[in-house]
Amino acid sequence: MFKIALVFCHIDEVFTNYEAGVFSLFESNPPLGLCSIGTIAKNKGHSVKIFDQFLHHYTLDQLVWEIKNFSPDIIGFSCTSLNIETSISCARKLKADIGCLCFAGGIHVTLCANQVAMEHVFDFLLSGEGEEIFDLALSVLEKSGINGLQNISVPGIWHNGKNSANGISILSDIDQPILDRSLMELNLYSNRGALLNEMPCYSLFSSRGCPFFCKFCSKPNYFKLYRHRSIAKVILEIHELVDKYCAKSISFREDNFTADKNYLRIFCKKMIDEFDGKLPWECESRAELSRETLELMYAAGCRGIWCGIETMTPKWNKWINKKLKEESVLSFYNDCKEIGIKTGALFMFGFPEQTEDEIEYDINFALNLPTEFSAFQCMAIFPGSPLAEYYAQNLDLCHPITSNVALALTKGKNLQYMIEKEHEINLRIRSNRIKV
């Protein structure tokens, strides 16, 4: 049996020099992805420990010391485009010090596997959804060691810088084992919802993927395949959170909890049956639900919904393929207010030729929404998004921060203007809310 360390590193230091909201959202939430593959390993009899650098505010050297003190046989890293450099640095130090096997997975590895492989620091990579291929990799490592991976041809497993089967891993069964949250130091997290007051508020996923095709989205292609877990399994997990961890509210972490209206309706009726609609929960949605749907969600315990609006300017709404209609958005927020569901709205700016009048239009729209919070972010460009190709051809319209991430610039504006504009807009929105 192996001792397995699973690591979530802090945001790369370079991003701390850019006071843009899209980077400040890097916060300490329980790492559910790592917990999911950790659960797979623990169920196979392995010893697993999760190390969250952000949670403990470790320096890189402190993180390395903590991991070494665990004496792991295998170390896995969850990599995003915001923490990839820190993850590589940590892995490199550990490889030099204790020489154990290191692997990496996560959205950045999925999108940029070739690039990560060229660093020659990870013994293998998991590209795509990791639970099933991690299970397979562990079985191979137990029987044949690291060289055994070169004899299997499975999409998503990279060894020696190659993925012989090509492609990425997509789960054959979305209903993976319920997370073993004892692997996470749950009591050390804030455990609060974005819109809910009841604590502790614990998070979970009921689905994976999103059926929409917004051009700024950096999710891999498999993420467009929307799939949801069985409602029975979701309800079972909620019961565990309430009974075992004393949850007072629930936060659904997926990008679009309400995408399947039939699933949503059945789920809400089940929540009414199981909890009499008295367990508060929140979710993320597109801002276009009917009043009837919202009333059912409220009856089922929904007390918070936050949405990405991005922009209501028709030109830029179309450009990012958001396809939201102003009248639907207004009806949605007004209905939520009347029903008793708290709401949030996120906007972006920094489109190529966006005018001051167009920005002002979105600001006024945001100010008139009856939300608990509204915020604007300068648009960031991440690997995998359709917009990344556009900006690769229009380098004058973005400010590269790393080889993977850039901030969008409106034509004729510089980085300092964009960041100052973001602060100015959000200060104006906060000031208006205080007056109200």
Q: Is residue 164 part of a domain?
A: no
Reported confidence tier of residue 178, pLDDT bands at 50, 70, 90: very high
Task: Indicate the range of 79-83, 210-214, 330-334 predicted with least confidence.
Answer: 210-214
pLDDT given at position 163:
82
Q: Is residue 176 part of a domain?
A: no
250 and 366 in a single domain? The answer is: yes
Q: Is residue 184 part of a domain?
A: no
296 and 345 in a single domain? The answer is: yes
- Tell me the pLDDT tens digit for each residue of 304-361: 999 999 999 999 999 999 999 999 999 999 999 999 999 999 999 999 999 999 999 9
Q: Is residue 169 part of a domain?
A: no
How far apart are the C-alpha atoms of 277 and 62, rounded to whole Å? 45
Q: Is residue 167 part of a domain?
A: no
Distances 433 to 304, 366, 369, 424 between C-alpha atoms, Å: 18, 11, 11, 14
pLDDT given at position 167:
82
137 and 274 in a single domain? The answer is: no
Half-sphere exposure of 96 (CA within 13 A, CB side): 8
Over 60: is that where the pLDDT of 80 sits?
Answer: yes
294 and 370 in a single domain? The answer is: yes
pTM for the model:
0.95
270 and 383 in a single domain? The answer is: yes
Segment 390-405 shows an average pLDDT of 95
Q: What is the mean pLDDT of the chain?
A: 94
Over 90: is that where the pLDDT of 162 sits?
Answer: no
246 and 134 in a single domain? The answer is: no
Beta bridge partners of 357: none
Distances 14 to 83, 84, 85, 118, 420 between C-alpha atoms, Å: 10, 11, 9, 21, 19
- Quick one: 61 exposed, middle or buried, by C-beta within 10 A (0-12, 13-18, 19+)? exposed
Q: Is residue 183 part of a domain?
A: no
Question: Residue 335 is part of which domain span?
Answer: 190-435
Q: What's the CATH code of the domain at 296?
A: 3.20.20.70
Over 60: is that where the pLDDT of 26 sits?
Answer: no
pLDDT > 70 in the chain, percent: 97
Residue after which a domain boundary falls, among 159, 177, 208: 159
How far apart are the C-alpha atoms of 66 and 56, rounded to whole Å? 11
Tally of structural domains, the chain: 2
Over 60: is that where the pLDDT of 263 sits?
Answer: yes
Please give the residue that has the higher pLDDT: either 73 or 163: 73
- Tell me the pLDDT tens digit for each residue of 114-140: 999 999 999 999 999 999 999 999 999
208 and 119 in a single domain? The answer is: no
pLDDT given at position 435:
56
